[in-house]
A and B are shown apart, each in its own frame.
Chain A
Amino acid sequence: EPEVTQTPSHQVTQMGQEVILRCVPISNHLYFYWYRQILGQKVEFLVSFYNNEISEKSEIFDDQFSVERPDGSNFTLKIRSTKLEDSAMYFCASSEAQGTERRHFGDGTRLSIL
Chain B
Amino acid sequence: GQNIDQPTEMTATEGAIVQINCTYQTSGFNGLFWYQQHAGEAPTFLSYNVLDGLEEKGRFSSFLSRSKGYSYLLLKELQMKDSASYLCAVRGYSGYSTLTFGKGTMLLVSP
Residues of A within 8 A of B (CB): 31, 33, 41-45, 48, 55-56, 58, 91, 98-99, 101-108
Contacts and interface: CB of A to CB of B under 8 A. Distances in A.
A97 to B, nearest CB: 10
Secondary structure at the B interface, as helix, strand, loop or mixed, is loop
Given A105-B42, A105-B43, A107-B42, A45 B100 contact: yes
- Which of A31, A102, A106 has the most chain B CB within a 10 Å cutoff? A102
B41 A98 contact: no
A101 B31 contact: yes
Given A101-B45, A102-B45, A44 B97 contact: no
A45 B103 contact: no
30 contacts: A33-B97, A41-B103, A42-B102, A42-B104, A43-B37, A43-B43, A43-B101, A45-B97, A45-B98, A45-B99, A45-B100, A45-B101, A48-B97, A55-B95, A56-B94, A56-B95, A56-B96, A56-B97, A56-B98, A58-B98, A98-B96, A99-B96, A101-B45, A101-B48, A102-B48, A103-B45, A103-B99, A104-B45, A106-B42, A108-B42
B27 interface: no
Given A43-B43, A43-B101, A91-B42, A101 B33 contact: yes
A99 B97 CA distance: 7
Nearest to A43: B101
B43 A42 contact: no
A98 B97 contact: yes
Given A91-B42, A105-B43, A43 B87 contact: yes
Interface of B: 31, 33, 37, 41-45, 48, 87, 89, 94-104
A102 B100 CA distance: 15
A76 to B, nearest CB: 18
A98 B43 CA distance: 18
A44 B102 CA distance: 9
A101 B89 CA distance: 11
Contacts of A31: 97
Nearest to B87: A43
Nearest to B99: A45
